[in-house]
Amino acid sequence: MSIFDKFSLHGKIAVVTGGNRSIGKAIAVGFAEAGAAVAIVARDETRNDETVAELRKLGVKATAVRADVSERADIANMVETVTRELGPIDVLVNNAGIGFHADALTMTDEEWQRVFAINLDAVWKVSQIVGQQMAARGTGSIINIGSISGLIVNRPQWHSPYGISKAAVHHLTKSLAAEWASKGIRVNAIAPGYVKTEIANTEYEDYRHYWRDEVPMQRYATPDEIAPIALMLASDASSFITGSILVADGGYTLW
C-alpha cells in the first residue's frame, strides 16, 4: 500500500452538509476526486442539482438530499435516502453553517437561537443519527467545520453567538471523539481562518485590514485549500487522529 492509497476514498460513502457551494462543495468535489460516492445535503435544489451533475462527471455516484439540517425528521430521511441510494455512510462532514453580525446588547433571542440551531444543534443531531449507523457498523469518520472564531474573538465585527457556537462545536468534537473511539468512529474538526465564500462576501473588502493584512500570510484562504484537509481527516491517512481541531488560518491565531 503506497502512502497515496491511504488518502483514497474508493468504496467509501461520504455525506457533506452544505455541499452545494463554497467550502462544502470544494470538499464534496475533493472526496469525489478521491473516489468516494458523495451525497450533498442542502436546501437550494437548483444548486444541489448543479453540484450533483459536476460530481457525477468525476465518475462517481452522487446524490443530493434537500434537507434542513436543523430538523431531526429531515436528517432521518436523509440517512435513509443516502443508505438506499449509495449505501451506509462512512464519512460525515458537518459543514452547513450560518453567521451574521449583531451587537450583544441588542441581539434578539430569535437571532441567537437561529445561529445555534444550525451551527451547533444540527451538528449534534446529524452526528447522533449518522453516528448510530456508524456505531452499528463499527467504523466512521466525522469531520466538523469549526472556526478560528471558536478559538479567538474576531474583530472588528461582533458576532458573539457565531464564535460561541463554534467553540461549542470544537468541544462537541472532543466529547464525541472520546465517547465513540471504542466504537471505531473518529471525530475531528477543522478550524479555518477567513475563507473567501458567500457567507460574508461583501465584508471581505470592508474588513480587509483586519481579515487579510493582519494575517501572517497576508491573504484569505480559498475553499479548495480546506478540501485536502478534510480528505486527510476522512481517510486512513489520519487513522490515529481523533478529537483534533486542525487550524488552517494562514497564521491568524499566532498573534
The SS3 of residue 189 is strand
Task: Mark 99-118 with x for binding to ligand NDP (rule: CB under 6 A) and - for no binding.
Answer: x------------------x
- Distance in Å, CB of 26 to ligand NDP, minimum: 8
Binder among 13, 14, 22, 82 for ligand NDP (CB under 6 A): 22
Should residue 20 be labelled a site residue for ligand NDP when binding is judged by CB under 6 A? yes
Cα–Cα distance, 114 to 110 (Å, whole number)? 6
Should residue 63 be labelled a site residue for ligand NDP when binding is judged by CB under 6 A? no
**Are the C-beta atoms of 210 and 155 separated by less than 8 Å?**
yes
The one-letter code for the residue type at 79 is V
- Cβ proximity to ligand NDP, 33 vs 68, nearer residue: 68
Binder among 63, 95, 235, 244 for ligand NDP (CB under 6 A): 95
- Cβ proximity to ligand NDP, 139 vs 158, nearer residue: 158
The DSSP result for 95-120, as a single string, is -------B-TTT--HHHHHHHHIIII
Should residue 145 be labelled a site residue for ligand NDP when binding is judged by CB under 6 A? yes
- Cβ proximity to ligand NDP, 165 vs 235, nearer residue: 165
**Are the C-beta atoms of 82 and 89 separated by less than 8 Å?**
yes
Scanning 31-39, 96-104, 134-142, 177-185 for contacts with ligand NDP by CB under 6 A, the matching segment is 96-104
Please give the positions annotated as active site: 162
- Distance in Å, CB of 98 to ligand NDP, minimum: 5
Cα–Cα distance, 134 to 141 (Å, whole number)? 9
**Are the C-beta atoms of 210 and 220 separated by less than 8 Å?**
no
Cα–Cα distance, 253 to 90 (Å, whole number)? 32
- Distance in Å, CB of 67 to ligand NDP, minimum: 6
The neighbour count for residue 206, using CB atoms within 10 Å, is 12
DSSP 119: I
Should residue 21 be labelled a site residue for ligand NDP when binding is judged by CB under 6 A? yes
- Distance in Å, CB of 211 to ligand NDP, minimum: 8
**CA triplet 100, 101, 105: central angle to 5 degrees?**
130
**Are the C-beta atoms of 212 and 173 separated by less than 8 Å?**
no
Residues of this chain that bind ligand NDP (CB under 6 A): 17-18, 20-24, 42-44, 47, 68-70, 95-99, 118, 145, 147, 192, 194-195, 197-199
